[in-house]
Copies of this chain bind each other. A is one copy, B any other.
Amino acid sequence: MEPHEPDLTAVPVTAVLAALADEVRLQIVRALAEGGETACGTLDFGVSKATRSHHLRVLREAGLTRTRAAGTSRYVRLRRDELEKIYPGLLDAVLTPRPPA
């Protein structure tokens, strides 16, 4: 089945925000922003495989990531350009490790 990667314009803003409003998913997004395309297995943040898979699906269905299958692995990457186009500044606002107080 297709990985269900929606058109970003078809995803409600609230869904995008909700996808980012989780500590684990934010860590994933930060890792992807820094490391580019990454194998799922590399994204280990202290949760089980099942939970990680769940979070990756949420991100994917919110239009934040794309997934490419290769062998037994799956490679995930951020849809930065599209995101920047539709929600300019969003990622930067959220990704900066510690915003200047």
Q: With a CB–CB cut-off of 8 A, which chain B residues contact A92? A: 88-89
Residue contact A13 to B87, C-beta cutoff 8 Å:
no
Copies in the complex: 2
* A11 shortest CB reach to chain B, Å: 11
* Bound-state Cα–Cα, A95 to B20, Å: 16
A23 CB–B CB distance under 8 Å: yes
Closest residue of chain B to A83 (Cβ to Cβ) is: B93
In the bound complex, what is the Cα–Cα distance between A23 and B18 (angstroms)?
Answer: 11
Residues 81-94 of chain A, each 1 if its beta carbon lies under 8 Å from chain B, else 0: 00001111110111
Which residues of A are at the interface with B, using a C-beta cutoff of 8 A?
A: 9, 12-15, 17-18, 20-23, 26, 85-90, 92-94, 99-101
